[in-house]
Amino acid sequence: MPDVTVLDRFLRYVTVDTRADDSSASCPSSPGQLALQKLLAGELREIGLADVDVDVDDNGYLMATIPATVARDVPTIGFVAHVDTSPEMPGVNVTPIVHRAWDGRDIVLPDDPTAILRAAEQPELAAQIGHDIVTASGTTLLGADDKAGVAAIVAAAAHLVSHPEIPHGRIRIAFTPDEEIGRGANRFDVARFGASCAYTLDGGNRGELEFESFSADVMRVTFIGFNTHPGYAKGKMVNAIKAAARFIDRLPQDRLSPETTAEYGGYVHPYQMEPSVDRTSVRVLLRDFVTAALRAQQRLVEDLAGQVARETGTRVEFDVQEQYRNMREVLDRYPDVVGKAREAIRRAGLTPIEKPIRGGTDGSRLSFMGLPTPNLFAGEHNFHSRLEWTSRQDLEAAVAVVVELAQVWAGGSKGE
């Protein structure tokens, strides 16, 4: 078989429009995701993987197996990436551009000359002078999030299958839909996947290893007022919009906000509103690395809203939904899962970079569904932006880590 590089694969996958659609109830939420899954299934079969299966009728999840090359008992591990892209940015007609041996000068994207990547503003980019940088053309995202992860997994599978002398156990692969709209784990069949642990490839810089995420709830706060004709409303109207505005204004601003926190700081974040005089609801994200702290955030919201309701003569109702939990609560019980990833990153010649994810991944959910799943870098930079980029060197490093990790789990000594 001709040697297809990871970059070749990536450049092909990004041209398929897989933008997730929040307003659709179907799974996958957009038809392009299924188109990419079918293309990937074809490639995996061509590579020679066993039981390649797109769950087309039901859910659009793609699963496949790289058979073991060692006879001894080695745990089955999995690699997971998502095929959808962010609904926040156009994903149709993505035209990837490879800036070979980038010399460090500004990269002006041709379809929108105001879209400029500057080394001075982007330390991660400045560190890659001389590399083959890949961008979109200025009006769309690139889709490295997470087609970089998809390409790295397919390329690693091709490498392992064509090098049967590399010792590894059974390896499972899954490509999931709709991660960007929080549904990636919804219909993930953990039993069918049949791995003892997995790794998402959905991260940034070379060497990154993430095993802590936020714990997350979403709260709906609804103020109920009283509407009447505004011309004859004196002494009667109770405006729920004004109550909601007062509530939002009282939320902490110099702390507990996305705009004022970093690293391990949590936040309370009003992000959507449905206003009317009669009834106004505000959706508020609760986020912290300590799950118990979400209860304190909830109480804070209830206290502030309750106080405003009393002042304004409105009634207030609350609804709280769990979203996901800090994967570390699970991963701390499986130190090998993170430890072996660290070891593989070192064997690939990189330095592990460990930092908390200020968000969630499919792994945050999967870990609590019985599949401990930390996250590895795939070379995604400026995700959800028209300035999104990756590099050939990042993609190749991600492939190397997957190949090393397979061998670390097989208990082999230093990789070949």
Query: 148-187 mask for Zn ion (x: CB under 5 A)?
Result: ----------------------------------------
Q: Given the complex with Zn ion, which of 146 and 404 has the nearer CB atom?
A: 146
**Min. distance of Cβ 83 from Zn ion in angstroms?**
10
Do the beta carbons of residue 134 and residue 144 sit within 8 Å? yes
Q: Which stretch binds Zn ion (CB under 5 A): 52-60, 162-170, 201-209, 339-347?
A: 201-209
Do the beta carbons of residue 195 and residue 290 sit within 8 Å? no
CA angle, corner 181, sides to 178 and 187, nearest 5? 45
DSSP for residue 182: T
Q: Given the complex with Zn ion, which of 146 and 396 has the nearer CB atom?
A: 146
**Min. distance of Cβ 69 from Zn ion in angstroms?**
30
Q: Does 179 qualify as catalytic in the annotation?
A: yes
**Min. distance of Cβ 184 from Zn ion in angstroms?**
9
Q: Which stretch binds Zn ion (CB under 5 A): 189-197, 198-206, 212-220, 288-296?
A: 198-206
The verdict on 388 binding Zn ion (CB under 5 A) reads: no
The verdict on 202 binding Zn ion (CB under 5 A) reads: yes
Q: How far apart are CA 294 and CA 302, in angstroms?
A: 12
Pairing between strand 375-377 and 279-288?
unpaired
Q: Given the complex with Zn ion, which of 170 and 386 has the nearer CB atom?
A: 386
Query: 75-114 mask for Zn ion (x: CB under 5 A)?
Result: ----------------------------------------
Q: How far apart are CA 90 and CA 72, in angstroms?
A: 48
**Min. distance of Cβ 4 from Zn ion in angstroms?**
23
Nearest to 363 by CA among 130, 198, 143, 175: 198
The verdict on 404 binding Zn ion (CB under 5 A) reads: no
Nearest to 17 by CA among 31, 3, 38: 31
Question: Scanning residues 136 to 155, which ones bind Zn ion (CB under 5 A)?
Answer: 145-146
Per the document, the length of the chain is 416
Q: Given the complex with Zn ion, which of 141 and 338 has the nearer CB atom?
A: 141
Q: Given the complex with Zn ion, which of 29 and 280 has the nearer CB atom?
A: 29
Q: CA-CA distances (angstroms) from residue 373 to 82, 111, 190, 202, 347?
A: 14, 38, 11, 11, 20
Question: Scanning residues 233 to 272, which ones bind Zn ion (CB under 5 A)?
Answer: none
Q: Does 84 qualify as catalytic in the annotation?
A: yes
Residue 223 C-beta-side C-alpha neighbours within 13 Å: 33
**Min. distance of Cβ 294 from Zn ion in angstroms?**
23
Q: Given the complex with Zn ion, which of 160 and 216 has the nearer CB atom?
A: 216
Alpha-carbon torsion, ordered 32, 37, 39, 40, to 10 deg: 140
Catalytic residue, from 43, 145, 179, 380: name it: 179
Q: Given the complex with Zn ion, which of 37 and 281 has the nearer CB atom?
A: 37
What does the buried/exposed string (b/e) look like for 62-80 if buried means 16 or more CB atoms within 10 Å of the residue's CB?
A: bbbbbebbeeeebebbbbb
Q: Number of residues interacting with Zn ion: please give it, by CB under 5 A.
A: 3
**Min. distance of Cβ 13 from Zn ion in angstroms?**
14
**Min. distance of Cβ 19 from Zn ion in angstroms?**
13
Positions of E strands within 144-303: 171-176, 197-203, 208-210, 215-224, 267-274, 279-288
Q: How far apart are CA 161 and CA 363, in angstroms?
A: 26
Q: CA-CA distances (angstroms) from residue 278 to 231, 238, 312, 320?
A: 16, 8, 13, 22
**Min. distance of Cβ 14 from Zn ion in angstroms?**
14
Q: Given the complex with Zn ion, which of 375 and 391 has the nearer CB atom?
A: 375
Nearest to 191 by CA among 212, 169, 174, 210: 174
Catalytic residue, from 17, 21, 43, 84: name it: 84
- Which parts of this chain interact with Zn ion (CB under 5 A)? 145-146, 202
Residue positions annotated with a catalytic role: 84, 179
